Amino acid sequence: MKGIYIHIPFCHQICHYCDFNKVFFKNQPVDEYIEAIGKEFAIMSSEGVSFETVETVFLGGGTPTSLSERQLHRLLEIINKYVDVDALREFTTEANPDELTYEKLIVLKNGGVKRLSIGVQSFDNELLEKIGRTHSADDAARVIQDARKAGFDNISIDLIYGLPGQTIEQWQDTLDKATNLGLEHYSGYSLIVEPKTVFYNLMNKGKLPLPGEDAEAEMLEMLIAHMEENGRQQYEISNFAMPGYESVHNLLYWENESYAGIGAGAHGFINGQRYSNIGPIRQYMATLEEEKRPILHTHEVTEVEAMEEQMFLGLRKIEGVSAKHFEEKFGRALNDVYGDTLQTLINQGLIEQANHRFKLTQTGLFRGNEVFQQFLT
């Protein structure tokens, strides 16, 4: 097992586009939940799950930085008990700009966190308000300055394009302000309107003025070009980094490696089995009080499914899928399994082959979901 994902489901504000497992922070058993995470670690250890080979830890949510300094300290204390944090290649936490104080940054740094992933989304204050964010562009700039002062030298920010009412000019301004910060890593995602969100309800009422597919494609082109011009290499469809600053944790997902999911609603993949934890917080905690792992659902991944995942996850990476690695992993030649599909996609100009690797073409980058679907039975 190479990674651990830990879910912190608390938020002070729910964004209009978010469908992750989360609840408003107020009146929640936050301290008890943190202790429950420690109990889940302990039960997994007692059942023979080893954390000795872990290379990366990721705190996600919800919003990990919604926790107080004291709560963050306790959470990190628990993690340090079960994981050799000093030996990790990467230890990341997600963060919101208006919640990440200098004092919290010091707590995170002292607790072994090496990398920040900050949900900036836009540098346009009007758009930030429209999407339900509570920070401003100035907050984002301030927190990055504080993070540098606290000693963080590996910082990423998330940006979203295709937002309601967003113009090409607004997106260009956000890209300019983002790269002027000189960060090591950037993620740029197109808005996906998910069920059970504020945006989904507005869309169903015809009250969500999205830019449209052509504008969205232009924004993606702008993102790729702007990052290249500023020395940030695209290594995955939505991710760009200075050399050596690619996200180790996210690459673990795209390379289909094993990882533990800890926390309410977390997902994991251990020993060929995918599992999801119970989502409701109190039910998650009650199950742990019974000395049982809070698993809601498990699925043994078949060889066919594993090969499919290897393809559609691996093709997200700009370097693509290695035919040699595929054969080493599954004992079957890639062309024997997917030769016809690969040739069809090559003929359509969506993937290309070079140095025993198959990867998306420039056209394929814009039609990735269409490509991935070809590997699903």
Q: What angle do CA 366, 222, 248 make, to 5 degrees?
A: 70
Domain 304-373: give its CATH code. Answer: 1.10.10.920
Polymer length in residues for the chain? 377
What mean pLDDT comes out for the span 75-95?
A: 98
Segments making up each domain of the chain, as ranges: 3-253, 304-373
With 0-12 / 13-18 / 19 or more C-beta atoms within 10 angstroms meaning exposed / middle / buried, residue 335 is: middle
| Tens digit of each residue's pLDDT (9 = 90 or more) over 311-369 | 999 999 999 999 999 999 999 999 999 999 999 999 999 999 999 999 999 999 999 99
- Collect all residues with Cβ–Cβ distance below 8 Å to 19 and sequence separation of at least 6: 194, 195, 196, 197
CA atoms within 13 A of residue 222's CA, in its CB half-sphere: 23
pLDDT band at residue 375 using 50, 70 and 90 as cut-offs: very high
Which structure tokens are listed for 40?
A: 């889940």
What is the pLDDT of the chain when averaged over all its residues? 95
> pLDDT value at position 114?
98
pLDDT exceeds 80 at position 213: yes
What mean pLDDT comes out for the span 85-89?
A: 97
> pLDDT value at position 322?
97
* Amino acid sitting at position 118: I
pLDDT band at residue 266 using 50, 70 and 90 as cut-offs: very high
pLDDT exceeds 90 at position 71: yes
Separation between Cα atoms, residue 123 and residue 138, nearest integer Å: 8
> pLDDT value at position 26?
84
**Of the candidates 298, 311, 303, which has an alpha carbon nearest to the alpha carbon of residue 261?**
298
What mean pLDDT comes out for the span 165-189?
A: 97
pLDDT band at residue 117 using 50, 70 and 90 as cut-offs: very high
What mean pLDDT comes out for the span 101-108?
A: 98
> pLDDT value at position 17?
77
Hey, do 3-253 and 304-373 end up sharing a CATH topology, with the first three levels equal? no
What superfamily does domain 3-253 belong to in CATH? tm_1862 like domain (3.80.30.20)
> pLDDT value at position 34?
98
pLDDT exceeds 90 at position 247: yes
* Amino acid sitting at position 233: Q
Which structure tokens are listed for 233?
A: 């290499």
> pLDDT value at position 343?
97
Say if residues 53 and 2 touch (Cβ distance below 8 Å): yes
Number of Cβ within 10 Å of residue 366's Cβ equals 18
Which structure tokens are listed for 172?
A: 């260009």
Q: If DSSP states are collapsed to H, E and C, what string results for the chain?
A: CCEEEEEECEECCCCCCCCCCCEECCCCCHHHHHHHHHHHHHHHHHCCCCCCCCCEEEEEECCHHHCCHHHHHHHHHHHHHHCCHHHCCEEEEEECCCCCCHHHHHHHHHCCCCEEEEEEECCCHHHHHHCCCCCCHHHHHHHHHHHHHCCCCCEEEEEEECCCCCCHHHHHHHHHHHHHCCCCEEEEEECCCCCCCHHHHHHHCCCCCCCCHHHHHHHHHHHHHHHHHCCCEEEECCEEECCCCCCHHHHHHHCCCCEEEECCCCEEEECCEEEEECCCHHHHHHHHHCCCCCEEEEEECCHHHHHHHHHHHHCCECCCEEHHHHHHHHCCCHHHHHHHHHHHHHHCCCEEEECCEEEECHHHHHCHHHHHHCCCC
pLDDT exceeds 80 at position 20: no
pLDDT exceeds 90 at position 140: yes
> pLDDT value at position 203?
86
> pLDDT value at position 16?
77
pLDDT band at residue 304 using 50, 70 and 90 as cut-offs: very high
